[in-house]
């Protein structure tokens, strides 16, 4: 039956429309049968204006999405969290009247939840994924939630596309496979038809998607917000969290091993660090753009797929957040915490970013079903530290016992209470942005440069980072079964970098298409202008940005870095203890690892040495570096132990710092990289590609510490032909 006649027979007979399993050839409709003209854009007041509450299509689509799963979060299901404090370092009253950002004497309590996005609660911490970075500030003016990610941009520009994105990346519905992975057809089918995702795909396929620790990743507010001061003057702001430990990642092969050996790796790392008193810290950074500079740049500040390069607008570091207490109960706190981008305080306001606008509706709607009703704010972890006074009563799981007769306003029976607070009394007032526009479903032409910042991100990476992106994209597209999707993605990536696309094509046995017979975006409204949906590439003045490469992160500390010392009976105890002491003095953590638990004896000491872990219960992927002390019997035992040799081989493969005494060189000789090592030399320390051998113990320890600070020695990896 032709699509224009679909359902006609049912209408004539008065029968209810039968449920169908296949939408092939059918028009898109609402849940009530209304044909949809535009499913790509929310209804806005002008192309750069706010999203309108009357957009019943947006609300129906997101409401259905928000309520799809209970009680687990639809996205960000797997999380871990901690309590802490935030303290601003300078008075920011020139920008905002938010008290927690202006009073340097105040310590604001915070609760921070980190999460993966795509996987279920039982998935691995080390999935290749975006990480949620949500901070709840319990301020004296109410709660402020900064709900962001560890990446500064997002896949889509309009919230109406969020259900589609998540449906595409989640396990495919016919078999619930794969879990917590984007390497499958539905995700890349969506991406290949959504060029606005180009920039975010570069981030997700980079090492940023595989953080070494939650304590070693950046956080971003993603959207452009407003700060408003006492004079009601507004500036635009981007929020950043900069970790004091630097930004570091693990290797992809290492991540897969960790997922098999300890899927709770990030959760355990955060918990143990806080329990040990090694409190994670981040500096809050702001990128401030004056109101008059809104249209100054070659990108649109309201486009959530774009960032502001730090070379154009430096990040001002204004305060420090310290996480210093673990939750008392995972469910009551980590699982029941309810963040909302709409939880703001006076001095912080929104912009017309269409993704942000949709989130303002979606978060409350989600909590209603996940936490059982409208009173989720009364759960202890969600309660503000200030009293709550309003006329809201009753509802599911109400905790507060309200006294009195009046639950309305205005009233005289309660003397008008609770009163409205004027602006000068701390009441929230929205920034009076002037808007004159028509109601339309369109995007601003300034949103259609999809590839310039994707190019900027790729060009800013070091050679090893580019190689890792090549590997990631080759792996992901190698898992895609449908040839047309792979072809579209190769063409898509060639718009970012032709060399990258060629490398991927070689790895998956294909050629890069010179053109496509179809548009990258198939969902053009019937009455829309196709030219507006053309993927524009701007040649911007900024070719690279140092802030986008992890190579340029701080590398001045080994605090909380975990170092393995491989040793057996007969070890050189003096050297072992000297290196251990040097590492711990610098804030590193040390585990002595042996084939068995218990204690080992030193060749030069009667004092037994406690073994922290055995080779049967741990692996090199849990450590940042490895040291092998000397001692004839210890060395001989390790050389003959296959697990010890594998431990060293993996550490080398994953580009970690390795140190060994001169008389332990024979252990390293038994590894696959042993043939590269220099000849025996017990007089001087020799270092090659992060492997340090021989010399006096104090000198070796000092050089080993410096090597660990570098995080990884990526030059060990085989070279790949990815253009610079």
Closest CA to 131 of 224, 229, 250: 250
Using CB atoms within 10 Å of the CB of residue 25, give its burial: 0 to 12 exposed, 13 to 18 middle, 19+ buried: exposed
| 3-state DSSP assignment of residue 9 | helix
- Tokens matching residue 367: 């909590």
**Between vectors from CA 103 to CA 100 and to CA 107, what angle results, nearest 5°?**
60
Distance CA 625, CA 562 (A): 7
Distance CA 504, CA 154 (A): 23
Between strands 142-149 and 131-139, the pairing is antiparallel
Distance CA 489, CA 479 (A): 13
- Decide if 334 contacts 137 (C-beta within 8 A): no
Catalytic hit among 41, 76, 257, 326: 76
Task: Cite the beta strand spans of 423-535 per DSSP E.
Answer: 439-440
Q: Is the dihedral of CA 516, 518, 519, 520 positive or negative?
A: negative
DSSP characters over 60-106: HHHHHHHTSSSSS-SSS-SEEEEEEEEEESS--TTT---GGGT-TTP
Distance CA 695, CA 702 (A): 11
Between strands 686-688 and 691-693, the pairing is antiparallel
| 3-state DSSP assignment of residue 553 | coil
Distance CA 246, CA 232 (A): 36
Catalytic residue list contains 149: yes
Segment holding 526, helix H or strand E = none
**Between vectors from CA 37 to CA 450 and to CA 442, what angle results, nearest 5°?**
40
Distance CA 261, CA 255 (A): 10
Distance CA 175, CA 186 (A): 13
Between strands 225-228 and 79-88, the pairing is unpaired
| 3-state DSSP assignment of residue 349 | strand
Catalytic hit among 41, 143, 149, 150: 149
**Cβ contacts of 703 within 8 Å, gap of 6 or more:** 659, 685, 687, 692, 695
Closest CA to 593 of 650, 527, 644: 644
| 3-state DSSP assignment of residue 674 | helix
Residues identified as active-site: 76, 149
């Amino acid at each position: 039956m032709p699509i224009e006649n679909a359902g006609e027979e049912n209408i004539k007979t008065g029968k209810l429309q039968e449920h169908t399993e296949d939408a092939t050839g059918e028009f898109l409709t609402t849940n009530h049968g209304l044909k949809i003209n535009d499913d790509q854009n929310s209804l806005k007041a002008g192309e750069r204006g706010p999203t309108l509450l009357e957009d019943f299509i947006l609300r129906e689509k997101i409401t259905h999405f928000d309520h799809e799963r209970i009680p687990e979060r639809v996205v960000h299901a797997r999380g871990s969290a901690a309590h802490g404090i935030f303290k601003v370092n300078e008075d920011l009253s020139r920008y905002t009247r938010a008290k927690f950002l202006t009073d340097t004497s105040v310590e604001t309590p915070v609760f921070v939840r980190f999460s993966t996005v795509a996987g279920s609660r039982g998935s691995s911490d080390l999935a290749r994924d975006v990480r949620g970075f949500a901070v709840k500030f319990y301020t004296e003016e109410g709660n402020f939630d900064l709900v962001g990610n560890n990446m500064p941009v997002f896949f889509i520009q309009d919230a109406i596309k969020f259900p589609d994105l998540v449906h595409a990346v989640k396990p495919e519905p016919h078999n619930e496979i794969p879990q917590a992975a984007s390497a499958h057809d539905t995700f890349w089918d969506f991406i290949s038809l959504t060029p606005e995702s180009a920039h975010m795909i570069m981030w997700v396929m980079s090492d940023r998607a595989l953080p070494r620790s939650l304590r070693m990743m950046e956080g971003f507010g993603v959207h452009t917000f407003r700060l408003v001061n006492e004079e009601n003057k507004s500036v635009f702001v981007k929020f950043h969290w900069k970790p004091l430990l630097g930004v570091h990642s693990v290797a992809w092969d290492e991540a897969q091993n960790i997922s098999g050996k300890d899927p709770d790796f990030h959760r355990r790392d955060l918990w143990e660090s806080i329990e040990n008193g090694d409190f994670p810290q981040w500096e809050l950074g702001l990128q401030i753009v004056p109101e008059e500079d809104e249209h100054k740049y070659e990108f649109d500040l309201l486009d959530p797929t774009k960032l502001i390069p730090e070379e154009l607008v430096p990040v001002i570091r204004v305060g420090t957040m310290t996480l210093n207490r673990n939750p008392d109960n995972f469910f009551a706190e980590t699982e029941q915490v309810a963040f909302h981008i709409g939880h703001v305080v006076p001095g912080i306001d929104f912009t017309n970013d269409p993704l942000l606008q949709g989130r303002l509706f979606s978060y409350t709607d989600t909590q209603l079903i996940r936490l059982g009703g409208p009173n989720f704010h009364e759960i202890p972890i969600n309660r503000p530290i200030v009293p709550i006074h309003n006329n809201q009563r009753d509802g599911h799981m109400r905790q507060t016992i309200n006294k009195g007769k009046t639950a309305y306003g205005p009233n005289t029976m309660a003397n008008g209470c609770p009163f409205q607070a004027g602006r000068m009394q701390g009441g929230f007032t929205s920034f009076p942005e002037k808007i004159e526009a028509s109601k339309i479903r369109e995007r601003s032409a300034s949103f259609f440069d999809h590839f310039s910042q994707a190019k900027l991100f790729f060009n800013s990476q070091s050679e090893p980072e580019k190689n890792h992106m090549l590997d990631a994209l080759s792996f992901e597209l190698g898992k895609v079964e449908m040839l047309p999707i792979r072809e579209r993605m190769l063409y898509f990536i060639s718009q970012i970098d032709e060399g990258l696309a060629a490398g991927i094509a070689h790895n998956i046995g294909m050629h890069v298409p010179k053109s496509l017979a179809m548009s990258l975006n198939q969902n053009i409204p019937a009455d829309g202008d196709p030219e507006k949906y053309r993927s524009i590439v701007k040649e911007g003045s900024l070719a690279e940005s140092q802030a986008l490469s992890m190579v340029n992160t701080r590398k001045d500390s080994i605090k909380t870095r975990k170092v393995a010392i491989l040793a057996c009976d007969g070890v050189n105890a003096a050297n072992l203890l000297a290196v251990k002491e040097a590492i711990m003095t610098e804030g590193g953590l040390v585990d002595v690892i042996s084939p068995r638990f218990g204690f080992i004896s030193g060749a030069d000491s009667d004092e037994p040495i406690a073994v922290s872990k055995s080779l049967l219960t741990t692996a090199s992927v849990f450590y940042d570096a490895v040291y092998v002390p000397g001692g004839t019997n210890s060395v001989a035992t390790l050389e003959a132990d296959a697990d010890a040799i594998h431990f060293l081989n993996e550490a080398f493969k994953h580009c970690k710092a390795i140190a060994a005494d001169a008389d332990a060189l024979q252990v390293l000789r038994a590894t696959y990289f042993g043939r590269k090592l220099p000849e025996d030399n017990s007089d001087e320390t020799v270092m090659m590609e992060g492997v340090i051998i021989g010399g006096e113990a104090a000198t070796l320890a000092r050089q080993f510490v410096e090597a660990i600070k570098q995080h990884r020695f990526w030059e060990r990896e085989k070279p790949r032909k990815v253009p610079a």
